[in-house]
Structure 1
Amino acid sequence: MSANFGIGYGYNVAIEKLADELAVPQNRFDQAERRYKDLGEFLHRDESSVRKFDPEVYIQGSFALGTPIKPASTDEDYDLDIVVAFNALTKKHISQADLRSLLRDELRAYRQARGIQNPVGESRRCCTLVYADGAQFHMDVLPALPNEGNMRMVLASFRADESLADGAIAITDNEEIETYHIITDDWPGSNPRGFATWFKSRQLEQLNERRRAYLNERGNVTASVEDVPAFRVRTPLQSAIMILKRHRDEWFAEQDDPDLKVISVILTTLSSHAYDGEARVSDAIAKILKDMHLKIENRQGIHWIANPTDPSENFADRWETHPERGDAFFEWLDAARNHFGAVQGFSDANTVFNELARDLGDQVITAARSRLSTHAGPRAASVAPAAAAGAASPGLVFGDEPRRPTEPKGFG
């Protein structure tokens, strides 16, 4: 499906080049894959203190979804999110604190064995490995236990699809003061594998189309499309999320409080709900910005963005105690609608780049402009025969719809 939002030819070309420029090079995905697999092999070595607990290491977050973006500068790292699930342990055997300690000790041994100079760090839920200066990688490692049984009960109570529990895990949280140090069934939960499955389902037609093209390009006619990881191809939804992430980063960099920045799981979840199979990145952005707010519910006065794999989890839970974060989300959404809506009807790509430089950053715009001239030639920046002349008005994407309801219930 491809919506018609009155998008100009030059705007479409510019958006495609922006997506190309923001995309993480495949060698970085390969590097990430090597690193988490290397950690998995290390945890299963003969001398490992956790080998008997059957540790399973896998990737989560933006690298798993295929939505990471290049760091804006060499001072920033690629953030690689890893799960270490101890499949032969249960919550009856160990506390959160002791599980974290088990993993931390092994990561310290891994750091020494691999010559990593920086010490193992810790955050609320993870241990962190920071690689050498210049590597631009740090690895957030999440200790976890299987939790599918508990999650099935939760889903049953909501009359939801219990198959969503497949891959559910219990995780550690050192801010859970009352339960962190004791053996209890009360652990925080997560399901990154389930989320990745849901994310694929929101774009399956476009994803499989690109997987087939990937296999055909390599002359592999026997492999299944399911054998191609999501990060090996790039769909319109993935590209749209990447561009909106960069816009978010630039917009919030101008705000006084960095804690106001919309977290990626909210941006990704709402974008995926709004996406409707658009085949062009420009159409996907227009549809997402138009409908992004529709999956923000109001539950007894509380903004609620449900985890698609766990309806009891609210991704916007911090908005209740920090209402300024919710306000900042809607302010950013208004800004994104204005910025992209104001140029979407332009028929000259260079004019689009000029207008978006202030919103996406000069560096990425300069690089995208270079891609335009290098790979497409000067004709790509000019008006296509069928393209409409003239610029779009700021409200073109959204027609006469109000950009923001005046009452909270309007977000339901």
Structure 2
Amino acid sequence: MITDSEKMLDRIYNEVANSLNISSTMFDKAVKSYEAVGSWLGDAEYIGDIKVFPQGSFGLGTVVRPLTDEDDGYDIDLVSLMEDGFQLDDKMIKSLVGKRLKENATYKNKLEPEGKRCWTLNYDGFHMDILPCVPRHSIYLQPNFTEIRLTHKTGFETYEPRFSNPQKYIEWFEQQMSITLNEEKKAYSYRNKVDIETVKTYKVRTPLQKAIQLLKRHRDIMFEGEENAPISIIITTLAARSYNNEVNLFDAVKNILLKMPLFINKNVDGKFEILNPVVPDENFADKWNLEPKKCDAFFKWLRMAQLDIIENPLSVTGLNNVSSKLEIAFGKKITEKSLTEMAINDRKLREKGNLYINGLMGGITSEAAITTKKIGGHTFFGK
């Protein structure tokens, strides 16, 4: 049975995740920006048919705010797929997209020097990483033929092919949370009066998405200014494998942190493996085997996350003491903001007469039931 302390932490963690999430204003700005980039790239006759779509944390709905307002902002990862470019060589895949971006004065001013895999545009509040690629095979056709070939720059004017399948990864991620995702999409569809089929994963908020945001924020806090921080794709993949469609966020985070090690394997040569679930020849942990410090850093982070997010907050009583523990996990600013938002929401519900205490299980709720008792309204300043 879930305890009162766990219920309270569940409420707080939901508020923390909401505070970490990308704002609707920034979300809309990012979507309009990448649609505009897609239109510009698609208008170039020498590129041909092009498909631009989000991948990574933006596509999965797991973006987190920067640590401070002075940080550079969000990373928006985009796939720029030249659908007719199967025959292009590795260098040409990269250079065609870069050439087209430089033909637009606005994008040219935002463009960073060529990266290993991406072209990056710097916007106010976020970076847009554009990944040029072509179909791995002769065609790109959803849902079955969605593998891509991208290029990895290894030196001056030298490139080598790499392979991925971001569309399939999103589909796999969705399947790992299929029950809660469907419920959230239903709710979003009802609230916004749109067909459920049109609701994108990054528009909704499941416990898995929120749990990953909490874990990534803890990682950012722990490794601020340091190297060897666990990479997001490893945290995301292990969390998704560990998730069991828990509807309670605290339970989701607790079980994810407990089960993560079960999905870290070693091959016959004793090398660590965390395989891409949709491209099995890609090992997300390949650098662990080359740089053992990265492996050590992951397991150190995992243990600290278990302590800071689960064990330590449960070891104290009183909101002030809990708050102090959570500041270590998520940062002072986000923790204070989340607790303030929770207090404001409770006050609004109380004033409307919609706040209840559960006499059977304990805790505060906005839902009336046989076992709940309404909390009476009151005025402040002792009146």
TM-score, normalised to structure 1, is 0.79
Please give the alpha-carbon distance, in whole angstroms, between the structure 1 residues aligned to 2:143 and 2:271: 25
Match of 1:227 in 2: 198
Tell me the alpha carbon deviations over residues 16-35 of structure 1, each in whole angstroms, 9 at most, x when there is no partner: 11111111112222111111
In the TM superposition, 1:108-119 aligns within 5 A as: 108-110=102-104, 112=105, 114=106, 117-119=109-111
In structure 2, relative to structure 1, the CA distance for the partners of 1:328 and 1:170 (3 Å cut) is same
* 2:113 alignment counterpart: 121
The reply to whether residue 96 of structure 1 matches residue 90 of structure 2 is yes
The 1:17/1:29 distance shift into structure 2, 3 A limit, reads same
How far off is 1:333 after superposition? 0.4
Quote the offset at 1:245 in angstroms: 0.5
Kept in 1, the 8 Å contact 2:62–2:212? The answer is: yes
Are residue 366 (structure 1) and residue 336 (structure 2) matched? yes
- The answer (yes or no) to whether the contact 1:24–1:69 under 8 Å persists in 2 is yes
Residue of structure 2 in register with 1:238 after alignment: 209
Residues 333-359 of structure 1: CA distance to partner in whole angstroms, max 9, x if unpaired? 011111122224767544322211122
Structure 1 contact 10–349 (Cα < 8 Å) conserved: no
How many angstroms does 1:236 deviate by? 0.3
2:232 aligns with 264
Displacement of 1:293: 1.1
Aligned to 1:311: 280
Q: Please point out which of 111, 133, 138 is paired with 1:144.
A: 133
- 1:79 aligned onto 2:50: no
Which SS does the other structure have where 1:312 is aligned? coil
Deviation per residue, 1:102-147 (Å, 9 max, x gap): 111111123x0x366344322211111112xxx1111111110101
Runs of 4+ with deviation above 4 angstroms: 3-7, 148-151, 176-179, 345-350, 382-389
Cα deviation per residue 1:199-228 (whole Å; 9 max; x = unaligned)?
Answer: 0000011011011111112344xx2x2310
Change in Cα spacing, 1:308 to 1:149, as seen in structure 2 (3 Å) is farther
Is 1:284 aligned to 2:252, yes or no? yes
Q: Which residue does the alignment assign to 1:24?
A: 22
Summarize the Cα distance change of 1:179–1:104 in structure 2 as closer, same or farther, 3 Å threshold.
closer
- Residue 178 of structure 1, CA deviation: 10
Q: Which residue of 1 aligns with 2:154?
A: 175
2:188 aligned counterpart, secondary structure: helix
Distance of 2:266 and 2:307 partners within structure 1: 25
Count of equivalent residues:
355
**One-letter code of the match for 1:241?**
I
Distance in 2 between the 1:273 and 1:7 partners? 27
2:111 touches 2:119 (CA, 8 Å); kept in 1?
Answer: no
Aligned equivalents of 1:204 and 1:349: distance in 2?
34
Where 1:8 maps in the other structure, the secondary structure is helix
Output the amino acid matched with 1:229.
Answer: K
Shift of residue 63, structure 1, vs aligned partner: 0.6
- 1:220-271 alpha-carbon deviations (Å, 9 max, x no partner): 4xx2x231011211000000000110001001127xxx33100000000000
Report the CA distance shift for 1:230/1:170 in structure 2 as closer, same or farther (over 3 A).
same
- Give the Cα separation in 1 of the matches to 2:38 and 2:139: 26
Q: Residue 385 and residue 12 in structure 1: after superposition, are their counterparts in 2 closer, same or farther (change >3 A)?
A: farther
- Using a 3 Å threshold, how does the CA distance of structure 1 residues 375 and 350 change in structure 2: closer, same or farther? farther
Aligned CA-pair RMSD: 2.8
AA in 2 matched with 1:274? S
Deviates more, 1:32-41 or 1:68-77: 68-77
**Distance in 2, Cα, partners of 1:150 & 1:175:** 27
**Identical aligned residues as a percent:** 31
Measured in 2, the distance between the counterparts of 1:353 and 1:378 equals 22
- Deviations, residues 163-222 of structure 1 (Å, cap 9, x unaligned): 986311000100278972xxxxx72101111100000000011011011111112344xx
The equivalent of 2:299 in structure 1 is 330
When residues 345 and 12 of structure 1 are mapped into structure 2, their CA distance, relative to the original with a 3 A threshold, is farther
Deviation at 1:387, TM superposition (A): 5.8
- Taking structure 2 as the reference length, the TM-score comes to 0.85
Q: Which runs of 5+ in 2 are unaligned?
A: 351-355, 364-383
How far apart in 2 are the matches of 1:367 and 1:59?
29
Distance 1:58 1:50, change over 3 A: farther
Taking a change above 3 Å as real, the CA distance of residues 276 and 128 of structure 1, as seen in their structure-2 partners, is same
CA change 1:282–1:210 in 2 (3 A) is same
| Residue identity matched to 2:66 | P
Contiguous gaps of at least 5 residues in structure 1: 152-162, 181-185, 390-412
Aligned-partner SS, 1:262: coil
Distance 2:220 2:12 in 1: 19
- Per-residue deviation, residues 305-359 of structure 1 (Å, max 9, x unmatched): 0100011110000011101100110011011111122224767544322211122
Separation of aligned partners in 2, 1:70 and 1:78: 7
Structure 1 position 374, deviation (Å)? 1.3
Higher relative contact order (CA 8 A, sep 6+): 1
Q: Distance in 2 between matches of 1:11 and 1:350?
A: 13
2:372 matched residue in structure 1: none
What are the within-5 Å matches in structure 2 for residues 42-81 of structure 1? 42-45=40-43, 48-51=44-47, 53-76=48-71, 77-81=73-77
List per-residue Cα deviations over 1:75-121 (Å, max 9, x = no partner). 2211011111111111xx332112211111111123x0x36634432
Structure 1 residues 290 and 207: CA distance shift in structure 2, 3 A? same
